[in-house]
Amino acid sequence: MHIILVSDRLATAKSISLGARHLLLGAGLLTAAVVILSSSMFYLVFRHAVDIKLPLVQTLLLSAQEQQTQNAKEFMRENLNAMAVRLGQMQAQLMRLDALGERLSALAGIKPQEFRMNEAPGRGGALPSSIPVQDLSMGELTGQLDALSKHMENRQDYMGILENRLFDARIKKKLMPTVRPVDVDWNASSFGWRIDPITGQNAMHEGVDFLVDTGTPVHAAAGGLVIAAQSHPQYGYMIDIDHGNDFTTRYAHNSKLLVKVGDLVQRGQIIAESGSTGRSTGPHVHFEVRYKGVAQNPNRFLKVPATTAMVK
């Protein structure tokens, strides 16, 4: 491209040749100038929009602020909803833990009110003046809730296992013959070798004799199944109860039987009335405990702490 310059001051005309490079450079400079000018105008208009009070600009600003506020509200609502869901889950876990704690306290023989599970524990302390306090962020709060939820789930699993073990222990305790068959503390003849009251010979006594009057109620030493309720030449009217775990008990020399074979009896239930039937010198209750058919010393079971008292 050739540009010819003609002027009265010039003696001759001058020509300028512009190539493609010059044209591109000029177009670039022009574009840059337009962008810079537009940006400056945009900044000045929105920077001083409040002072200028242009209706259109103010409307645009208000619309942008409302949109920003709406977005912030939606973000907060989503986070609050998520925290509400998490809070509901933790409340359900706490209700399960409270119920589990009440069952555990009952199994362990502890009053539920001693746990005070429905009350928040007392906590406190002074804030150190040298260390500034910090606010929790949403991420940190969510992380704390997640960790607490997992901690509660683990505790619930542990308490469930403990409940099963306590329940098994309680069942086994109920099936152990630890209740005296009659409500007396003194026995006329203990377990072991003794002089037989009838023959006068040294003989093994495989039970304990409780001296009582005829007709005294005889109680089951533990819950179980009646496997014998009959008359025996030596034991007289006798009852055998199977307590499971290879344990059985025998109640002999009764005057009257109140249960029959196949009956399920509870711990402390009256099963007979004492007497002096069979090989006996007077009214009493002969009580035996056998493990796998072998006679055991009943005093080992009857002297268990907190179980020697008669179950009424």
- pLDDT (tens digit, 9 = 90+) per residue, 34-55? 888 877 776 666 565 555 565 6
Locus of tokens 């296992």: 161
| φ, ψ at 17 (rounded to 5°) | -100, 125
**What is the C-alpha separation between 280 and 210, in angstroms, rounded?**
12
Mean pLDDT of 178-191: 85
Confidence tier at 26 by pLDDT (50, 70, 90): confident
308: pLDDT strictly greater than 50: no
Kindly give, in sequence order, each residue whose CB lies less than 8 Å from that of residue 203, ignoring residues fewer than 6 positions away.
193, 194, 195, 196
304: pLDDT strictly greater than 60: no
How far apart, in Å, are the Cα atoms of 292 and each of 243, 248, 295, 296?
11, 8, 9, 10
How many Å is the maximal CA-CA distance in the chain? 168
Q: Please tell me whether the overall predicted TM-score, pTM, comes out greater than 0.75 for this model.
A: no
Mean pLDDT of 170-188: 80
Confidence tier at 251 by pLDDT (50, 70, 90): very high
Does 233 or 172 have the greater pLDDT score? 233
Number of residues assigned to the chain: 312
Kindly state the DSSP code that residue 111 receives in the 8-state scheme: -
| H or E, element range at 30 | helix 20-47
Say what the pLDDT of residue 312 is.
35
Domain boundaries along the sequence of the chain:
2-46, 53-117+137-175, 187-302
Kindly give, in sequence order, each residue whose CB lies less than 8 Å from that of residue 89, ignoring residues fewer than 6 positions away.
149
Say what the pLDDT of residue 93 is.
74
Say what the pLDDT of residue 311 is.
38
Say what the pLDDT of residue 81 is.
74
Q: How many CB atoms lie within 10 A of CB 103?
A: 16
76-80, 187-191, 192-196, 285-289: least confidently modelled range: 76-80
Kindly give, in sequence order, each residue whose CB lies less than 8 Å from that of residue 278, ignoring residues fewer than 6 positions away.
231, 232, 233, 234, 235, 236, 237, 238, 252, 253
Kindly give, in sequence order, each residue whose CB lies less than 8 Å from that of residue 14, ignoring residues fewer than 6 positions away.
4, 5
The rounded percent of the chain whose pLDDT value lies above 90 is 31
Confidence tier at 310 by pLDDT (50, 70, 90): very low
Nearest CA-CA partner of 242 in 206, 209, 290, 207: 290
19: pLDDT strictly greater than 80: no
**What is the C-alpha separation between 267 and 185, in angstroms, rounded?**
18
Say what the pLDDT of residue 252 is.
97
The domain over range 187-302 is classified in CATH as 3.40.190.10: no
| H or E, element range at 274 | strand 270-274
Mean pLDDT of 228-234: 96
